[in-house]
Amino acid sequence: MEQEIKFKTLSPKSGTELERKERTEKLQQLSRDMSELAELFKDLDELVTGQQDTLDLIECNISSTKDKVVVAEKELVKAEKYQKKSKWLKLGVAGLIATGIGTPVGVLVGAKVAIGVASGSVLTYVMFS
């Protein structure tokens, strides 16, 4: 496509038929090259225009993702608060279970010890104390 074109200035009276023919051919080639260049620019414009929809979609997705990240961050803060409360709740439930199991066991052991002491069996008293 790169061609070096040399122009000669021809006066209306100078030049042969061959020179005029060469000049006409060069001008026609230049015209074809310009048409081809115009076609390339047209194709480039179509490519750029076609990519605009894709760019708009990417921009929309980025905006949507940003909004979702903000919401997710708030949800994580809430989850952290619930997790901290849950820790204390678990300790409370464990304490209630321990109390619920420990109290009857303690009452039974205490009753056996009391019976052993009342009956005079020192061995029973020593074993459970």
pLDDT tens string 12-66: 555 588 888 999 999 999 999 999 999 999 999 988 888 888 888 999 999 999 9
- Unique residue bearing structure tokens 């480039």: 44
Between the ranges 45-54, 81-90, 104-113, where is the mean pLDDT highest? 45-54
Predicted pLDDT at 79: 87
For the cut 70, the answer to whether the pLDDT of residue 125 exceeds it is no
AA letter at 7: F
Query: Mean pLDDT score of the chain, rounded to an integer?
Result: 78
d(CA 111, CA 69): 62
Predicted pLDDT at 9: 55
d(CA 126, CA 116): 9
For the cut 60, the answer to whether the pLDDT of residue 127 exceeds it is no
Predicted pLDDT at 82: 82
For the cut 80, the answer to whether the pLDDT of residue 106 exceeds it is no
Predicted pLDDT at 129: 53
Question: 57: which 2 tokens?
Answer: 């979609």
d(CA 126, CA 113): 9
- Domain boundaries in the chain? 17-127
